[in-house]
Structure 1
Amino acid sequence: MRDGTPSTEDFGQRLRGLRARAGLSQEALSHAAGVSVRALADMERGRTRGPQRRTVQALAGALGLDDDEAADLEGAAAVGRPRPGAAGGPAAPGTLALPRDIADFTARGPALARLLDLARDADRGGPVVTLVTGQPGLGKTAFAVHAAHRLAPHFPDGQFALDLHGMDPEPVTPRDALARLLGAVGIPDAAVPAGTEDRAGLWRSLAGQRRLLLLLDNAADESQISPLLPGTGPSLTIVTSRQSLAGLESVHRCDLALLRREEAVELLSRIIGPERVAAEAQAARDLSDLCGHLPLAVRIAGQRLVSRPHERLGKLVARLTAEGRRLDGLQAGSLRVRAAFALSYRQLRPESRTFLRRASLAAGPDFSPETGALLAGLSYDEAVACAEELTDAGLLQSDPATERYRFHDLLRLYAAEQVTAEDGPGVRDAALDRTAHWMLRRATAAALHFDVHHDGATPYGDPDPEGAPAGQDEARAWLEAEQAQWLAALRRAHDTGRHRQVLDTAEAMHWFSDRNQHWEQWVEVFRRSADSARALGSRREEAVHLNCLAWAYNLCVHDPRAALTSADAALVAARECGDGLQEGWALGYSAGALHRLGRTREAQERLHEAARRLAEQDTPQSRLAELTVLNSLGSLLRQAGRPAEALDIHRRSERICRAGIPGRTEELIALYHAVARQQIGNDLAALGRWHEAEPPLRQALAAFEEAQMPAWAEAARLDLGQVLTATGHREARQTLLAARDALTALRSPRQAEAAVALASLDQTTADT
């Protein structure tokens, strides 16, 4: 106080002293008062001399000031506020100068080039507006400031930057922003009109006559921006916002993306020096990955390392690897990733805050509104509205083709923290249980579309029949898209003791799994279901699911030792409960494992025993199992150098298929027939009857493709390609190439066989 009147220089000092007395950091006061850290820092440094009354009241409340102290602080702020009509005006020309550029600015080349093109458009006489948007931490302001400095020579009549404080409780009003812009171009306070529309009209008339560069940073919404945009003249306006501002018309949009890995490493190198990065190149790459290639996070990590010149990058990598400590580690002084996210989070409606934090509980890289609705306890329509709001706010990323959403890794960690802080373990567990129960009911109903034993007229038990997948195509699409969700639901059901639901779901998956045997997840599905059967004391179901587990080990992850262990355990359980069908399956699966382990004689013995055991039974299920065992036995005999015997056995399989199996559909029998035809084609090839081998292999391939069974189809394609090679067919190379690429993508052991066949064909062609 001087002469009883607070000076404008006193406000920042006074606020800083009161904060120190209260023992609060800038971030703590920011959180308590709902004022951004940046705005608070500007006040304390004297850059903002007259904050609005509501802001001062919020600060006084957070600082715990009594009435006299609050009045004193308000008086200090009042002196710094512009007074309409006062001499000298609210701002002298040039007071909205561009902020300092960042010397270590990295990447964004294409976006900068686009802005240079826009500047040339402005040179041709039309005002240009570009909108820079994206999630928190992408460096929108840094990019805009850097671009403005690069473009400044194009706009000799002035370059102005105005922070609109869009994330503050009280963003700058259009009226106040226009006053500052008018002052910046030299209009005295006395000449500034009182009304917003009049100020906007004056601003547009002045801007239309000048070559201006205008940076409007941190915009809140369209209504704040629209009155500030020049209507005519060779100006360029750059607007930054965390919101999408979809309502702004005739603007060029620049949606900044995450840095590429190499760009993130380059930014780190520019901050801490290339020598430190070169000395720990892998740690630098790992650090960039842990930062999610988010510019703010990379900068914070770099600034932290700069302040500790002797600390190794690997030490920070080790700290950030622990997810629970990652956001704690990403802070350097007043720069904090968590604070950047918190600003956006506090701006959301309560429903959207709930949706965001609960969505962090979803499994997998992305999630549907359906999953978000279940976790948040909202209706589907409410969830879609929340997801779209969060996408517009840059807090979620939407899939370009489907209605699915994903988090940035660091944002997911922040949202998960809010679950702990705001919901607690009880609410969290209830949300996960509710979602898991619904997901397993839907997954079970969807999988039953593929079950040949299920009566299609029987209701599938979907939790939402009106929205349930209709038919196999829709069911497959849902099961594939929600694979991570229903698998997580199965884990939770198992871990919380809901063993009957685990068994029902895994049982329903049996036939669907056959069509997707390249999924490694089947090992976990059937391991958990076998464990659930054991927990319920059902030896028959234990045998069933141990057999399924043996199948998964054999064909999905190619682990014959584990397959043999599971099949032998299934055999014991089946014999104990007198289930001949499961006994036959166990013998067949163990034979497959023994063959892969090179124990061919034992494998043949078990297949012969399985065939005998299954032939003794007179059920549709035993006939299907017998077909599988016969096809496997024939294949084994062919590989043992006995192709004629193999052909006889596979012809027997074909006769069973042609005779039909009561109660089984033609579509199902067609698949078994396709397997027999594939084996017959290979038998004929082994006998050197190449031209006879081609037709059955083509028929098998067509059947597997029609049934959308890629693992089966590509194996048949490889067999066909080898036969075509032997006959000199012109399609041979194309067929082998397609098989090799597809088998590689499926992680099939036969990819090596395909590569060898293709290389051999190419060598033969080159030699001739």
Structure 2
Amino acid sequence: MRHGTSSTGDFGQRLRGLRARAGLSQEALSHTAGVSVRALADMERGRTRGPQRRTVQALSEALRLDDDEAAALEGAAALGRPRPGTATGPAAAGTLALPRDIEDFTARGPALARLVDLARDAERGRPVVTVVTGQPGLGKTAFAVHAAHRLAPHFPDGQFALHLHGMDPEPTTPREALARLLGAVGVAEAAIPSGTDDRAGLWRSLSGGRRLLLLLDNAADESQVIPLLPGTGASLTMVTSRHALAGLESVHRADLALLRREEAVELLTRIIGPERVQAEAQAARDLSDLCGHLPLAVRIAGQRLLSRPHERLGKLVARLTAEGRRLDGLQAGSLRVRAAFALSYRQLRPQARIFLRRAALAAGADFSPETGALLAGLSCDEALACAEELTDAGLLHSEPATERYRFHDLLKLYAAEQVTAEDGPEARDAALDRAANWMLRRATAAALHFDVHRDGTAPHGDPDPEGAPAGQEEARAWLEAEQAQWLAALRRAHDAGRHRQVLDTAEAMHWFSDRNQHWEQWVEVFQRSADSARALGSRREEAVHLNCLAWAYNLCLHDPHSALESAEAALVAARECGDGLQEGWALGYSAGALHRLGRTQEAHARLHEAARRLAQQDTPQSRLAELTILNSLGTLLRQAGRAAEALDIHRRSERICRVGVPGRTQELIALYHAVAQQQIGNDLAALERWHEAEPPLRQALAAFEDAQMPAWAEAARLDLGQVLTATGHREARQTLLDAHHALTALRSPRQAEAAAALASLDKATAAT
């Protein structure tokens, strides 16, 4: 044995001698071993006589001791630790020892780094409290335990873990918890005060002089936690809870999120091994997605696969893909996702339980308190209170910028199960019908704000006039936010045979859809309304909605085959009922589809026929339809190399707009005028009259932007960018770049044209 390392003697003297022999300062040893300078000083001075085994191991590694030296240092430390039989309190320190760390702990790097920083704050003598919250299954306890093991060397006077049983019917009382903590620091049972306040005072007094790490796991509420917090001294307390514990003051928060997909796959890999994951890499990713990246669910799936070493990952993926069986598949031994959710669900007030399970019936990724209120049969104020309570309980997530809420996928499945188990089909259907009727009435009234035939007064028929959207901006915001809800309501009304309601809603959407032609959902809306018109035996309405459907196929889905089929059916219905206006529209929509299919001559013939048919009628609707047909006809002429003829046609459209259409607002005519200006600009560009083309295109772009019609505006921006390129304007590239980004987001077929124009400009710039 080397000089200065005899097997007996005081731990502090031995440590000081080993450090001096290694030529290390306290600061250097602290940095290498991960033990604070203050803790080292306390050990060397004899204030800390028996540091824990893991602390001694860290010091031995930092000092590069051989096995004999490390054993001798550990023996000296063991002499200073309390004997197992000397604890006289009701719960000795050993009974509050940290649970076992898990070897396959994954991710949470930033949150762990934050806790390391907090541990350093505690070393400066300030008690630090951090609250770890999140929904069931996020691994709050696993994270806190892992962090406690990592931070243990910073707290040589003890690391205690106390389960507060916050989700049990009778959680641990502060009085009970304080008795266990006092016993853990050596207070004899007879010396523990009887009252909670006295116990809390004694605990604060004793903990204030020690460097402690305290894990309070599964807290019920603030009142349970506050008496247990040290008041002074160098301690770190971690509190885990499914509740937000928003009433705790001066605390740090670690709100755990779902794992990222790659982190979920990494966790799965650590559980079952890299070979199986590499052999079925896509199945591993799919499995992580089906688990919703929830750590508990991924762990259960991994444990299940680990117990079945020959089972393929794809087999479990196939089982979980069937939604009705997903929660059944996510169980392994005593680990069950459903049980984790049930624990929180049973703690809720009856009203909050109703709200949670009924909210699972909402369509789409998120929902408003308004929707939850309709489904649960509550007032909006009651629903909002429930939503906030469920958010605090970690069962819902609130959107950061809007008053909307969303479920985790697996929790939504669990909540939907409770609807079946507790409400039954009659209550479920009643809730859905109540919500659907309300949603369709609100959607119809909101969409009518965009109807150009209105006289400016607020639409009638909203189910809650006081809370109804006021004006187009609020109406647009509501229709966009509740898109999934009112579309689901339309489906329910259609399937239930409420065809007049379907037609009224779809009819109201006509002008609103024109401003949002990038929404693919319009195909479903007008398919259902056309079906409802047919069911009611109304050929005129069937022609109207088949024409709307042809429009949607042409401009929203870019499917000319289906557009032509719908337009042909509309033409038949219009001729049968003698509706010349719908006949003109059907000819126009079929021409658009024929042009996209490359059948140009047929398209020209249809447009000429449509223009002739509409010119024979003397109604405001026919004049507007004629403007659309003329603009389309001019566009086809230009694309056929007849730009001068196209310019004449579009000038004719412009003259009609300047004269105006009786009974139609100037705002509406301004949009038709903007379309004509866009086409005039394109005609002039085709004639290489570049500088003349720029002003009308800028005017068209401004008009579409003012009207908030992105699909129209971005097409005009692309046209303008191409003209600016030809004139060598400095704005050309930025204009094309903006158009390309927006058209890509809108899924427009013209995004390829924008990309080609950008590439051509960049190539020309590089050449010069």
Q: What is the CA deviation profile of residues 603-640 of structure 1, one whole-angstrom value per residue up to 9, with x for unaligned ones?
A: 00000000011011111110000000000000000000
Matches within 5 A, 1:296-307: 296-307=296-307
Residue identity matched to 1:316: L
Kindly provide the amino acid, as one letter, of the partner of residue 504 in structure 2: D
Deviations 1:727-767 (A, max 9, x none): 11111101101111110010000000000001000000000
Q: Does 1:525 align with 2:525?
A: yes
**1:62 paired residue number:** none
Structure 1 residue 458 displacement after superposition: 6.3
Looking at structure 1, the residues matched to 377 and 187 of structure 2 have their Cα atoms a distance apart, in angstroms, of 55
User: What amino acid is the match of 1:286?
Assistant: D
What code does the residue aligned with 1:426 have? Answer: E
Give the Cα–Cα distance (whole angstroms) in 2 for the partners of residues 766 and 361 of structure 1.
57
**Are residue 111 (structure 1) and residue 85 (structure 2) matched?**
no
Match of 1:287 in 2: 287
Alignment partner, residue 544 of structure 1:
544
1-side partners of 2:318 and 2:459: how far apart?
Answer: 52
- What SS does structure 2 have at the residue aligned with 1:106? coil
Amino acid at match of 1:328: D
CA distance in 2, matches of 1:288, 1:265: 6
Q: Does residue 1:753 correspond to 2:740, yes or no?
A: no
Q: Which residue of 1 aligns with 2:144?
A: 144
Show the counterpart of 2:43.
none
For each residue in 1:661-691, what CA deviation from the matched residue of structure 2 results, as whole angstroms up to 9, or x when unmatched?
Answer: 1111111000000000000000001111111
Instruction: Give the deviation of 1:453 after TM superposition.
Output: 1.6
- Which residue number corresponds to residue 618 of structure 1? 618
Question: Which whole-Å CA distance do the structure 2 matches of 1:92 and 1:264 have between them?
Answer: 38
Q: CA deviation at 1:93?
A: 3.1
What pairs up with 1:437-586 in 2 under 5 angstroms?
437-457=437-457, 459-586=459-586
Return the alpha-carbon distance in structure 1 between the equivalents of residues 260 and 563 of structure 2: 42
Q: Is the 8 A contact 1:396 1:406 kept in 2?
A: yes
1:145-187: per-residue Cα shift (whole Å, max 9, x none)?
0000000000000000000000000000000000000000010
- Equivalent position amino acid for 1:155 in 2: F
Counterpart residue number, 2:424:
424
- Which residue type is aligned with residue 125 of structure 1? G
2:739 matched residue in structure 1: 739
Shift, 1:459, TM fit: 4.0
Which residue of structure 2 lines up, in the alignment, with residue 63 of structure 1? none
Deviation at residue 553 of structure 1 after TM alignment? 0.2
C-alpha distance in structure 1 between counterparts of 2:155 and 2:351, whole Å: 45
1:201-212 correspondence runs (5 A): 201-212=201-212
Identity level (%): 89
- Cα shift at 1:91: 1.5
Amino acid at match of 2:754: A
Q: Distance in 2 between matches of 1:570 and 1:234?
A: 80
Where does residue 318 of structure 2 map in the other structure? 318
Task: State the Cα deviation string for residues 435-489 of structure 1 (Å, max 9, x = none).
Answer: 0000000000000000112343364210000000000000000000000000000
The more displaced of 536-545 and 93-102 is 93-102
Corresponding residue for residue 587 of structure 1:
587
1:368: which partner in 2? 368
| Structure 1: 5+ residue stretches without partners | 1-86
Cα displacement (A) at 1:94: 2.6
Contact 1:395 1:407 in 2 (8 A): yes
Give deviations 1:510-548, integer Å, cap 9, x for gaps. Answer: 000000000000000000000000000000000000000
Counterpart mapping for 1:647-666 below 5 A: 647-666=647-666
CA distance, structure 1, for counterparts of residue 438 and residue 614 of structure 2:
38
Query: C-alpha separation between the residues in 1 aligned to 2:372 and 2:490?
Result: 18
1:603 counterpart letter in structure 2: A
Residue segments in structure 2 that go unaligned for 5+ positions in a row: 1-86
AA matched with 1:746? L
Which residue number corresponds to residue 257 of structure 1? 257
1:60-116 deviation digits (Å, cap 9, x = unpaired):
xxxxxxxxxxxxxxxxxxxxxxxxxxx943112332000000010000000000000
Partner SS state of residue 743, structure 2 = helix
Give me the whole-angstrom Cα distance separating, in 2, the residues matched to 1:728 and 1:151. 64
Q: Name the SS of the counterpart of 1:95 in structure 2.
A: helix
Q: What is the TM-score with the length of structure 1 in the denominator?
A: 0.88
CA contact (8 A) 1:160 1:214 kept: yes
Query: In the aligned structure 2, how far is the partner of 1:309 from the partner of 1:734?
Result: 57
Partners in 2 of 1:730 and 1:116 — Cα distance?
52
RMSD (CA atoms): 0.7
Q: Does the CA contact (< 8 Å) of 1:94 and 1:185 recur in 2?
A: no
2:8 — aligned with what?
none
Counterpart of 1:192?
192
Find the aligned partners of 2:597 and 2:670 in 1 and give their Cα distance: 31
Q: Are 2:89 and 1:92 aligned?
A: no
Distance 2:95 2:330 in 1: 34
Alignment of 1:311-460 (within 5 A): 311-457=311-457, 459-460=459-460
Match of 2:724 in 1: 724
Name the SS of the counterpart of 2:503 in structure 1.
helix
- Corresponding residue for residue 56 of structure 1: none
Partner of 2:64: none
Any residues of structure 2 matched to 1:618-657 within 5 Å, and which?
Answer: 618-657=618-657
Which residues in structure 2 correspond to 1:668-747 (within 5 Å)?
668-747=668-747
Counterparts of 2:460 and 2:693, CA distance in 1: 42
Check the 8 A contact 2:446/2:459 in 1, yes or no: no
Q: Please give the alpha-carbon distance, in whole angstroms, between the structure 2 residues aligned to 1:545 and 1:125.
A: 74
User: Contact conserved, 1:137 with 1:297, CA < 8 A, in 2?
Assistant: yes
